[in-house]
Amino acid sequence: MPAYVWDADPLTFWRERILFILCFITAAFGIIPLIPSVILAYQEGLWSVVILDSVSYAIVIILLINRHWSMKTRGYIACLIFYGLGAGLLFILGPQGTGYIWLFGASVMISSIIGLDAAIWILLINTLTLISVSAYAYYGAPAWAPSLGVPLQKMTVLTINFLFFNTFVTITLGFMLNGLKGAIENEREISANLRKSEQAIRLHHERFLTVLNSIDASIYVADMETHDVLFMNRHIIERLGKDMTGSTCWQVFRNESGPCDRCMAGQITDDNGNLSGGRSWQEQHPVTRRWYVNHDRIIRWTDGRPAKIQIATDITEFKKLEAELQQAHKMEAIGTLAGGIAHDFNNILYAIIGYTELALDDVEKGSLLEANLKDVFTACKRAVDLVRQILAFARQSVENVKPIMTGPIVKEVLKLIRSLIPSTIDIRQNIASNSLIMGNSTQVHQIIMNLCTNAAHAMDKNGGILKVELTDIHIAEADLGSSGILQPGEYLKLSVSDTGSGIDPEILDFIFEPYFTTKRPGEGTGMGLAVVQGIVESYGGRITVESEKNKGSTFSIYLPVSIHQTEVVKTNAEMLPRGTERILFVDDELSLAKMGSQTLERLGYTVTVRASSLEALALFKSMPDDFDLVITDMTMPNMTGDKLATELMKVRRDIPIILCTGYSQAITDERAFELGIKAFCYKPVTKKDLAHTVRKVLGGSG
C-alpha cells in the first residue's frame, strides 16, 4: 500500500485496504468469469460485451498497479468501472446478464471507500439507470425483451426489489462507516488530549528548569529556615564552577560561618508576620570589575516555609552602552555647535580670503607686502581646512567612497593633533606617496586620528617621538606567508609608531576587540581600534601591530592602491577663465557682496549687487532680461537663497543660478539640482574656484 497509509487515521487505512482487496480479488479471480463470458459473447456476436468486459478488467489491473493516485481518485475510477460495466450489461443483455451485480458492487464500493454522501448519489444514479433500462425494454424492444413476457411490469418489479436491497445494504454500510469514523475521531481526540495532559505534566518540571537555565542571569533559591541552597540554575553553576546545591547560602556566596542579616527571620517578616518585599541594587564585582543588578524576594511554599529567590543579572554591556550613548550625546552636542558656527566662520573666512586675493592682484610683485598677503592667504586656507576637520570630527560631513589622496589627510591630522598633544612629543612625518585609494576622507581622517591619539597617550608621561610614514609598497604572492589575507598587488602603507610604554603581550591579541581598553574610566570607550580595523578591512586592507614593552609600538595599515597620482600641480600663474556677461550678486553681508563684485568685475563681468533677497527679486522682476547669471547666498533674512532661486525661475525659467553657503543642513547638492540650480558652492570660495564655476555655468570651458 502507499506509504502515506501507514501514518493515516485507522478509517483511511482500512478504506485503502478495502480498495486494494477489491481490486486484487477482481484482478486475480475476475479472469475466471471473464473468459467464458467473453467466449460466449463472441459466439453470439456481442462485440460490445467483449469490449466492455475487457476494458473494465484492464482498468482494474491499472488501478491495482498504479498507487500514485489518491485513494479517492482510484475509488471513483473503480466505482465508475463497476457502474459502467453494470449499466452496459443491463442495456445489452437485460436482467438475464450480471448488470445488477455490478451496479450493486459499485454502490457498495463507493459507500465503503468514499462515504455516505457519495453512496446516496450512486443510489440515485442506479435508480435512473434502472428506470432507463425499463423504458428501453418497453419502447426500444431490444432482443432480450420478449423473453420477459411483459417487460415493463417485470422490469418494474425487478427494479423495486433491487433498489430496496441495494439501498438497505448501501445506506446501512454508509451509516456504519460514518459512525465508525466519528468514533475513531473521538477516540483520537481523547487520546491526543490524554497524551498532551500526560506530556504537560511530565515535562512541566523539565520545562521550568529549562527556562531558568536559559536565562542569562544567576538564579538561586534558598530555604530561609535551614538556609540550604535548594536550586541553582546553569548560569550560576558555570559562574561558580560547580553545583553547590545543598550547601548553606552563606558558605556559597560569602564564605562565612553563619547567616547574614538578610537571612535572619526577623528581617524577612514585618510586625504582622507578613513577608517583607524584595529589594534591588547594583554592584560591581571587586575582582572581575563586571557590573550586576541584583533582585531578591522572599516567597512562601505551600507548606508555609519561607524561601528566598535571588537573581543577579550581568549589566556590564549595558553600562558600556550607557557610556557610549553619553559619548554620542557629547558628539551630537559638538556637531550642533560645529554646525552652528560653521556658517558664520566660513563667511568671515570668505571675506578675508576674497579681499586678500583682491589685494594680491593690486600689490607690487615681489614686495614684502605681497609675501605677507600670501602668508595671510595660506593661513586662511588652513583655517578652512580646520573647519572641515571639525565638521568631519563631529560627523557633520558625509562623503561617498571615491578615489582620494591620503597624504594631504595625514598632514591635516598632524596639524590638528599638534595642538592637542604635549610639546614633549616630537612629531615626525615622512609622506613619500602620492597614490590614490578608494575610500572616504572622513573615515581615513578617523583612522589616522585614532592611531595618533593612542600613540600620544602612550607617551603622555615622559614624552617621545610620534612618527608617521606613508609609502608605496608592492606585495608579491611570496610575501603573503600563510595568512593570505591580502591579495598580491600595489599597496599604500601607513605606519604610526611611538616610543611610549608599549603594549603588554598578554593583551596584544585583544586590543581590536570592541570596548577593550586599558585606559581609566572617562579616558576612552575602547572602540577606537575596533572602528579602525572595521574601516581598514572594509577597504580590502589589513592592520598589523608590533610592540615591545617600554620601547613603543608600531601600527601598520596596508590599503590597496587605486591610482598612482603623477600629475604635476598647476602653478598659481595659470590664466583664469574670463567673461563679459551680466551678473546679479546677492548676499545679505554687504562686505561679501562688494568683495564678490570686485572679484567678478576683474574677470571682465558686469556685476549688480544687492544685499537683500527681496530687493534682488524686485529688481529682477523689473528687468529679467538684463542678467545672464544670478549668484546668491543661501542664508538670508526674509527669503533664503533656495526660495529666491525658485521665485527667480518663475519669472524667467532659463536663468542660471549659483547658490553659495557657509554651512547649511537645509540644502544639499541633490536638493539644489532638483530645484534647477546650476551649481552649489561652499564658502569660502577662492577666486579660482569662483571663476571656473561661473564660466562652467555660463557655458564656457570652465
Asked if residue 518 has pLDDT above 80, the reply is no
Of 108, 120, 54, residue with least CA distance to 79: 108
pLDDT in tens, 281-310: 888 766 667 788 888 888 888 787 888 888
Q: What is the pLDDT of residue 212?
A: 81
pLDDT in tens, 652-667: 999 999 998 876 666 6
What band does 443 get if pLDDT is binned at 50, 70 and 90?
confident
HSE-up of 596 (CA within 13 Å, CB side)?
30
Over residues 501-519, mean pLDDT: 71
Three-class SS string for 657-699? EEEEECCCCCCCHHHHHHHCCCEEEECCCCHHHHHHHHHHHCC
Q: What percent of the chain has pLDDT over 70?
A: 81
Q: What is the pLDDT of residue 307?
A: 84
Asked if residue 437 has pLDDT above 60, the reply is yes
Q: What is the pLDDT of residue 138?
A: 77
Give the pairing type, strands 552-564 and 489-498: antiparallel
Give the pairing type, strands 218-223 and 306-314: antiparallel
Q: What is the pLDDT of residue 396?
A: 45
Worst-scoring range by mean pLDDT, 72-76, 183-187, 310-314, 331-335? 331-335
Over residues 490-513, mean pLDDT: 84
Distance CA 27, CA 514 (A): 77
The contacts of residue 358 (CB under 8 Å, 6+ apart) are 595, 598, 599, 602
The contacts of residue 454 (CB under 8 Å, 6+ apart) are 528, 529
Assess whether the previous peptide bond of 624 is cis (omega < 30° from 0). no
Distance CA 52, CA 34 (A): 11
Q: What percent of the chain has pLDDT over 90?
A: 14
Q: What is the pLDDT of residue 566?
A: 44
Collapsed DSSP state (helix, strand, coil) of residue 514: coil
Ranges assigned E (strand) in 552-594? 552-564, 582-586
What band does 645 get if pLDDT is binned at 50, 70 and 90?
very high
Q: What is the pLDDT of residue 464?
A: 92
Q: Cell numbers of 374, please?
A: 600670501
CA distances from 251 to 159, 165, 238, 245, 254 (A): 96, 88, 17, 11, 6
Asked if residue 422 has pLDDT above 60, the reply is yes
Distance CA 454, CA 501 (A): 11
What band does 57 get if pLDDT is binned at 50, 70 and 90?
confident
Buried b (16+ CB within 10 A) or exposed e, 433-471: bbbbbebbbbbbbbbbbbbbbbbbbbbeeebbebbbbbe
Q: What is the pLDDT of residue 168?
A: 78
Q: What is the pLDDT of residue 666?
A: 62
Q: Cell numbers of 163, please?
A: 433498489
Collapsed DSSP state (helix, strand, coil) of residue 173: helix
Q: 227 or 628, which is more confident?
A: 628
Q: What is the pLDDT of residue 266?
A: 45
Q: 300 or 66, which is more confident?
A: 300
Buried b (16+ CB within 10 A) or exposed e, 584-615: bbbbbbeebbbbbbbbbebbebebbbbbbbee
Q: CA quadruple 541, 547, 551, 552: dihedral positive or negative?
A: positive
DSSP letters for 176-198 = HHHHHHHHHHHHHHHHHHHHHHH
Q: 72 or 596, which is more confident?
A: 596
Mean pLDDT, the chain, whole residue set: 79
Domain spanning 398-567 has what CATH number? 3.30.565.10
Collapsed DSSP state (helix, strand, coil) of residue 91: helix
Distance CA 165, CA 390 (A): 102
Over residues 326-347, mean pLDDT: 68
Q: How many CB atoms lie within 10 A of CB 313?
A: 17
Collapsed DSSP state (helix, strand, coil) of residue 615: helix
Asked if residue 582 has pLDDT above 90, the reply is yes
Q: What is the pLDDT of residue 390?
A: 62
HSE-up of 96 (CA within 13 Å, CB side)?
12
The CATH homologous superfamily to which domain 218-314 belongs is PAS domain (3.30.450.20)
Over residues 360-386, mean pLDDT: 79
Give the pairing type, strands 279-284 and 291-300: antiparallel
Q: What is the pLDDT of residue 398?
A: 46
Distance CA 631, CA 644 (A): 11
Over residues 371-377, mean pLDDT: 82
Any idea what the Cα angle at residue 668 is, between residues 665 and 671, rounded to 5°?
125
* The CATH number of domain 582-697, selected from 3.40.50.2300, 3.30.830.10, 3.40.50.1820, 1.10.3720.10: 3.40.50.2300
Q: What is the pLDDT of residue 568?
A: 41
pLDDT in tens, 181-221: 777 777 778 878 887 877 777 777 787 778 888 888 888 88
Over residues 591-613, mean pLDDT: 90
- Measured between its terminal Cα atoms, the distance across the chain in Å is 86
pTM of the model: 0.40
Collapsed DSSP state (helix, strand, coil) of residue 581: coil
Q: What is the pLDDT of residue 5?
A: 58
Q: What is the pLDDT of residue 43?
A: 76
Asked if residue 395 has pLDDT above 90, the reply is no
Worst-scoring range by mean pLDDT, 88-92, 613-617, 697-701? 697-701
- Residue 578, φ and ψ in degrees, nearest 5: -120, 175
Each domain of the chain, given as residue ranges in start order, spans 3-188, 218-314, 398-567, 582-697
Q: What is the pLDDT of residue 609?
A: 93
Asked if residue 265 has pLDDT above 50, the reply is no
Q: What is the pLDDT of residue 483?
A: 44
Q: What is the pLDDT of residue 255?
A: 67
Over residues 492-521, mean pLDDT: 76
Distance CA 69, CA 59 (A): 14
Q: Cell numbers of 388, please?
A: 572641515
Q: What is the pLDDT of residue 78?
A: 79
DSSP letters for 353-403 = HHHHHHHHHHSPTTSHHHHHHHHHHHHHHHHHHHHHHHHHHTT------EE
The contacts of residue 156 (CB under 8 Å, 6+ apart) are 134
Of 172, 34, 32, 147, residue with least CA distance to 94: 147
Q: How many CB atoms lie within 10 A of CB 333?
A: 11
Distance CA 113, CA 79 (A): 9
Q: What is the pLDDT of residue 492?
A: 92
Distance CA 74, CA 419 (A): 91
Q: Cell numbers of 410, please?
A: 595625514
- Are 218-314 and 582-697 equal in CATH topology? no
